[in-house]
Structure 1
Amino acid sequence: METLSADVAIIGAGPAGMFAVFECGMLKLSCVLIDALDELGGQCVALYPEKPIYDIPAHPAIEGGALIARLEEQIAPFDCPKLLGRQVTGLSGRAGDFTLATSAGDAIKAKTVLLAAGAGAFGPNRPPLEGLAAYEASGAVRYYVRKREDLRGKRVVIAGGGDSAVDWALALQGIAASIAVVHRRPKFRAAPESSAQLDALAAAGKVEMAIPYQLHALHGAGGKLEAVEVADLDGATKKLGADVLLPFFGLAMDLGPIAEWGLDLAQGRVTVDPATMQSSLPGLFAVGDIAAYPGKLKLILQGFAEGAVAAHAAYGVVNPDKALHFEYSTTKGVPG
């Protein structure tokens, strides 16, 4: 439990929230960073720490986990307190004098608030299979892959038809002992090039395609998985030998208490003025995936730019009687 004061309380420690710490720090605004996950990085570390990202400027390719490590290095000079593993449960006050409460009992006084909470708290959509919890506890059923090496030599069954399912079927080539992909129809929702690569691997006998099938049951004992049973549309079943099941059925998103703060929302996201990234509540800004405005692109690089805009707008709330003289980082360097 902490009692803290800061110029800016940043809710969400994904890439957009982390870079907002840097932008605020460059303006000498103090920050506190809060996230429901137990580590920095948001979806980058929770969902694809070893998957390359190709549209980060100056990085032709960088893995999600590596991007977060570089951002952590970039914000280190600002000594921003990090309250992890806790959710913001309450917000009161007004611009210049907000109070936030967390699920851990923290009390945070902040002059401004910056939402960088992605799509809110997220968790996997779980398949309705008997005995699922025991296999989740043992790691035989996983919804995220932190390290590909963890699956070396394993018989892997992947269920789903989107980018995650197809991408991991490709990424585990040469690592998993065998790979089977379960999908209820032949057409995948993944990128066309990725789907074509998967088709080629299937044609070469390197991936077993269980189509059209759906997950039906898990077989094993004591949390140790031995086989995944699948059923076709007519109810006929077959078993796929498996050590690990990776169900990729998307994420369940929940804004949680944020939805009760009286903010203007559009399809579960916070509407903002793109000139300042301010929401309908003065002094509260939103950046990254949670922010909505015309022409919005849900890209990490856009979240970075939005953080810079929000930081400059927040400066005016924190220092209402002080003019901000814009300076380039090459001129002023990183404040000590």
Structure 2
Amino acid sequence: MSKNNHQTDVVIIGAGPTGLFAIFQCGMLGMKTHVIDALEATGGQCTALYPEKPIYDIPGFPTVAAAELIEHLEQQAAPFDPLYHLDQQVTGLQQESNGNWTVTTSKSTAISCKAVIIAAGAGAFGPNRPPLEGLENFEGSSVFYLVKRREAFRDKSVVIAGGGDSAVDWAMSLPEVAKKVYVVHRRDKFRAAPESVARMRSLAEMGKIEMVVPYQLHGLEGTDGKLEAVIVKDLKGNERSLEANILLPFYGLATDLGPMADWGFELERNHVVVNPTTCQTQKPGIFAIGDIATYENKLKLILCGFSEAAMAAHAIYPLVFPDHELHFQYSTSQGVPGE
């Protein structure tokens, strides 16, 4: 077998938080894993888009930075010796005559396995850009679509635009370092978790942020890539000029499933439909978990992805060990290898 050809029990596509936890769940059941990700490092969006973003709904962590969460998940997976294939995209998925699957990548890696877990988030992603004239002149210097280091915005005047979780979470976090924080949204209703919205409004009442509602982004003022003001307009055409150095437009991500879109999965709004009790797709041996998976009443939460990882691993066990009966054990009684 060449260095680019491998054989394992389970291939996990995606090294974000859900994929990393799937390593642990498979490992606890004695299954070996290989992990493929298009990014150069593990962590998915948590690493690439918002490593310092605080996350509030991970059990056991009142708050945890995204990068810290990934670090803990890597440590949890480490005893099971996963083999990572990073900086390469999955390009092919082919079923073998014996029922196994072969996964191939853009770097000519080929991995034969008994089952595949797709934990690829929403696929390849990029920011949804606001339609502002001259926006490109400020991108990378004054306009950013993610926050990698809060410290970069110390003593800056920051305009946050958007009404989802990212906008609200950073509206709660950046006042600790920024000189001024505005929150611009087209309506007074936000799409983030209610408790987070309540905390943001409390900060506004204390004067730590300014709510600019209902307004939308209308224009940018500045020279040589240095932003001086953000122009906003309400539905009646009234304009305001917000003196600012930084604009953070959080309008979500434009996603692309890439080659996975042509693999014959049942798709619903660019998400892979799965059985909610096993997370198996309509293709036997192929499972999907996390943000890429969908079923009735699906919640796009990391903690739900963790649960799906456990369900998928248990459903895969008889495919890897058809002659063994699985006796469920809690980790407290089973222990972890090396401990």
Category of TM-score, reference length = shorter chain: 0.7 to 0.9
**Which position in structure 1 is the counterpart of 2:309?**
307
2:67 is the counterpart of 1:69: no
Question: Given that residues 96 and 110 in structure 1 are in contact (C-alpha distance below 8 angstroms), is that contact kept between their aligned partners in structure 2?
Answer: no
2 CA distance for matches of 1:200 and 1:276?
Answer: 41
Do the aligned partners of residues 96 and 238 (structure 1) sit closer, same or farther apart at CA in structure 2, a change above 3 Å counting? Answer: same
Q: How many residues end up aligned between the 2 structures?
A: 335
Amino acid at match of 1:58: G
Superimposed CA distance per residue, residues 45-89 of structure 1 (whole angstroms, 9 cap, x where no aligned partner)? 345543444443333433322221111001112221222233222
Give the superposition deviation at 1:281.
0.4
The TM-score, its normalising length taken from structure 2, stands at 0.86
Matching residue within 117, 126, 131 for 1:128: 131
2 CA distance for matches of 1:275 and 1:184?
Answer: 39
2:272 is the counterpart of 1:277: no
2 CA distance for matches of 1:227 and 1:319?
Answer: 62
Superimposed CA distance per residue, residues 71-129 of structure 1 (whole angstroms, 9 cap, x where no aligned partner)? 10011122212222332222112474322222344333222111112232332211122
Q: Aligned ranges for residues 106-185 of structure 1 at < 5 Å?
A: 106-138=109-141, 140-185=142-187
Amino acid at match of 2:229: A
Q: Aligned ranges for residues 136-285 of structure 1 at < 5 Å?
A: 136-138=139-141, 140-235=142-237, 237-285=239-287
Do the aligned partners of residues 303 and 202 (structure 1) sit closer, same or farther apart at CA in structure 2, a change above 3 Å counting? Answer: closer
Question: Given that residues 287 and 307 in structure 1 are in contact (C-alpha distance below 8 angstroms), is that contact kept between their aligned partners in structure 2?
Answer: yes
2 CA distance for matches of 1:188 and 1:327?
Answer: 42
1 CA distance for matches of 2:64 and 2:206?
Answer: 30
SS in 2 for 1:153: coil
Question: Given that residues 157 and 179 in structure 1 are in contact (C-alpha distance below 8 angstroms), is that contact kept between their aligned partners in structure 2?
Answer: yes
Amino acid at match of 2:47: V
Do the aligned partners of residues 301 and 189 (structure 1) sit closer, same or farther apart at CA in structure 2, a change above 3 Å counting? Answer: closer
Question: Given that residues 96 and 317 in structure 1 are in contact (C-alpha distance below 8 angstroms), is that contact kept between their aligned partners in structure 2?
Answer: no
Give the superposition deviation at 1:307.
1.6
Question: Given that residues 96 and 318 in structure 1 are in contact (C-alpha distance below 8 angstroms), is that contact kept between their aligned partners in structure 2?
Answer: no
Superimposed CA distance per residue, residues 300-327 of structure 1 (whole angstroms, 9 cap, x where no aligned partner)? 2332232222223223222334444544
Amino acid at match of 1:240: L
Matching residue within 104, 119, 136 for 1:101: 104
1 CA distance for matches of 2:67 and 2:238?
Answer: 41
1 CA distance for matches of 2:54 and 2:182?
Answer: 23
2 CA distance for matches of 1:16 and 1:133?
Answer: 34
RMSD: 2.7
SS in 1 for 2:190: coil
**Which position in structure 2 is the counterpart of 1:287?**
289
Give the superposition deviation at 1:11.
0.8
More deviation in 228-237 or 247-256? 228-237
Question: Given that residues 163 and 192 in structure 2 are in contact (C-alpha distance below 8 angstroms), is that contact kept between their aligned partners in structure 1?
Answer: yes
Do the aligned partners of residues 207 and 278 (structure 1) sit closer, same or farther apart at CA in structure 2, a change above 3 Å counting? Answer: closer
Do the aligned partners of residues 269 and 141 (structure 1) sit closer, same or farther apart at CA in structure 2, a change above 3 Å counting? Answer: same
SS in 1 for 2:117: strand
1 CA distance for matches of 2:303 and 2:203?
Answer: 33
1 CA distance for matches of 2:193 and 2:279?
Answer: 31
2 CA distance for matches of 1:291 and 1:198?
Answer: 30
Amino acid at match of 2:139: E
1 CA distance for matches of 2:269 and 2:315?
Answer: 25
Do the aligned partners of residues 199 and 24 (structure 1) sit closer, same or farther apart at CA in structure 2, a change above 3 Å counting? Answer: closer
Query: Please, which runs of 5 or more residues in structure 1 have no aligned partner?
Result: none
Q: Aligned ranges for residues 324-335 of structure 1 at < 5 Å?
A: 324-335=326-337
2:41 is the counterpart of 1:36: no
Q: Report sequence identity in percent.
A: 59
SS in 1 for 2:94: strand
Amino acid at match of 1:106: T
More deviation in 204-213 or 117-126? 204-213
Give the superposition deviation at 1:216.
2.5
More deviation in 317-326 or 153-162? 317-326
SS in 1 for 2:139: helix
